[in-house]
Structure formats: C-alpha cells, structure tokens
Amino acid sequence: MAPSTTAPLSQALTRKRGNPLPAVLLALGLISAVAFAILGYLESQKTETVVVLVRDVPYGHQISHEDLGVVELPLHRPAQLAGIGDPAAVVGRYAARDLGANDLVQPPMLLEAPPTQPVYPNGQALTPNMVPVPFATTTIGPLSFRDRVNIGFNDRSGSPDLCDQAQSAAAGVKPTFTPPVAGVAQPRPFACRLLSSVRVLYVDEAAGVAYLELSPYQAHTIWALQAAGLELWGERYGATSTPLPNLDRLDIGQVNRDDLRAPVPAPATAEPALPGATSPIPGSRQP
C-alpha cells in the first residue's frame, strides 16, 4: 500500500506565521518622515542677527555706532538678503553711496577709506582732474548715465569768430576776426558741434538736468558760450558709437545732398570684413 501524501489535519489547521519585516519598515519610514519634518520646522525657525541702519548716512560719511541697529532674520533666506552680523565690522567704515534708514548693511555698501572723488547717487564717480557741468536735457530727451552726449551751439549772427576761428585756434593757428564789409552778404547763422561722446555722470530727471564730465577747459568753454548768450544743444549718443569731429560748423548754405543721403558708417570698433569672404566659391553652383 502506497504511503499517503496528505498532510495531517493538525498541520493543515496550523496558521502560517506572517513576515513582520514590511510592517517594521513602514513604521520606521513613518517615524523618519515625522522626525525630518520636525527637524525641518526647527531649522526654518532658526534666525541670526544682522546689522541695519537706523538713520540715513550720506555718501562718504563715516558710520558710527549710533547709525546702526540689529534685527533677527531667518537663517535660511535669499542671497540678496545676506548681511553683516557684527556691528564692529561696520563701525568706522564709510558709506559707498547714499544709505537709508532700515537698509540691510552689506559689504558693497562700505568703503575702507573716505572717497577721494565725488560720487553721484547712481554710483558713478568723477574721474580725477575732470569737472561736472550741468546741462539741460531739453533738446536731448530721455537720457541715462550709460549714454554719451554730443554738445553743440547755434550762432544766429553767423559771426565767423566763433566756430570757424575756434577751429583755427584748435589747430594752433592764431585766430583772427574778419569784420563785416558793407555791401557784402553777411555770414549765415550756423550750428557748430563742439564736443562729441561726452560721458554722462548722472541725470536728475525731476530737474531736467544731466551732469556731464568735462575737462576744466571744456567746461570753461561751455560757460563762455552761455555768457555769450548762445543757444546750446545736445544729442544723445551711443557709448560705442564713433566719435564725431569736434568743432564741425554747418550753415544751411553748406548742406550737401549726397551727405544727407549717405549711409551711416559702421562704428570704428567693428571688425573689418575679410577680403573675398562674400565672393562666390569658384566652381560652385550660383543661383
């Protein structure tokens, strides 16, 4: 008689034990998630002390203890809000620009030594040995410190001793004045471009004035033109544009049609085209 392969009834009724590992892992995962959430919350609540200004400090002034206060900011914050935590690192240094109350003090706001040249609210510094000249923006229109300006004047009398003689003087020739002759047609009124590509330091839009950087002699010339009652004008010009000839005189009788229609030359900084770069390749099929 063959042996029976049927398991005993008691063995069949015995319940198979389950594996506890998945439940343990799930519990550990939940505990870890809760722990990380708590740690993240606690970390987000951390703060640090940073230095702020409690009153305005003009550009170039030395900063004192009385100018400073401290506030608590979140430890984890945007990089733009990074500041200085120790007031001792700020006291005794100088304002790199006009600073306002409640400003968060940051390293670019500070100078180790007092400035040696005037600096405007936009951060532009006057070059040594140059002077600022206020210039009305009426004829220029919208202007920014990134632009350049051409300066000219109008002489309605047509006097030859202003632009023409100035050209001779600039060339080292002794200027002479030719008095008007009776019965001879008088010179026509003209415009003279005096300076080209002048740097703009700062624009006061409310006052309609731009402060231009000029040499002392150039500035003296502007004041002399104003003293003579001549009409000044300006032109907005690109910082990379080719400087135009100075002391360029033009009256209406000198206007040249070909010059009016001539294309504007490329800036001097443009790279010259390679010879033959646009020529067809020999043997290639042409359209």
- pLDDT digits over 34-88, tens only? 777 777 666 666 778 888 899 998 888 899 999 998 888 777 667 667 788 888 9
Residues 107, 224, single domain; the answer is no
Q: Which amino acid is at 160?
A: P
CA 142 from chain centre, in angstroms, equals: 16
Residues 145, 209, single domain; the answer is yes
What's the confidence (pLDDT) of residue 270? Answer: 45
Q: What is the mean pLDDT of residues 180-196?
A: 74
What domain count does the chain have? 2
How far lies 193's CA from each of 82, 164, 183, 232, 250, in Å? 49, 11, 30, 10, 9
Residues 105, 143, single domain; the answer is no
Residues 156, 222, single domain; the answer is yes
Q: 57 lies in a domain?
A: yes
Q: 102 lies in a domain?
A: yes
Radius of gyration of the chain (CA): 39
Q: What is the mean pLDDT of residues 144-148?
A: 92
Residues 86, 194, single domain; the answer is no
User: Lowest mean pLDDT: which of 49-53, 71-75, 147-151, 173-177?
Assistant: 173-177
Residues 144, 223, single domain; the answer is yes
Distance linking the first and last C-alpha atoms of the chain = 102
Q: 287 lies in a domain?
A: no
For residue range 102-117, list pLDDT tens digits in order.
Answer: 888 888 888 888 888 8
Domain range enclosing 148: 131-178+186-260
Residues 162, 77, single domain; the answer is no
Q: 271 lies in a domain?
A: no
Residues 95, 135, single domain; the answer is no
How far lies 74's CA from each of 50, 71, 90, 253, in Å? 10, 10, 21, 72
Residues 107, 211, single domain; the answer is no
Domain final position from 111, 143, 164: 111
Residue 234 has pLDDT above 60, yes or no: yes
Residues 139, 249, single domain; the answer is yes
Q: Which amino acid is at 258?
A: D
Q: What is the pTM of this model?
A: 0.57
Q: 1 lies in a domain?
A: no
Domain final position from 111, 143, 163: 111
- The pLDDT-based confidence of 20 (bands split at 50, 70, 90) is confident
Residues 64, 94, single domain; the answer is yes
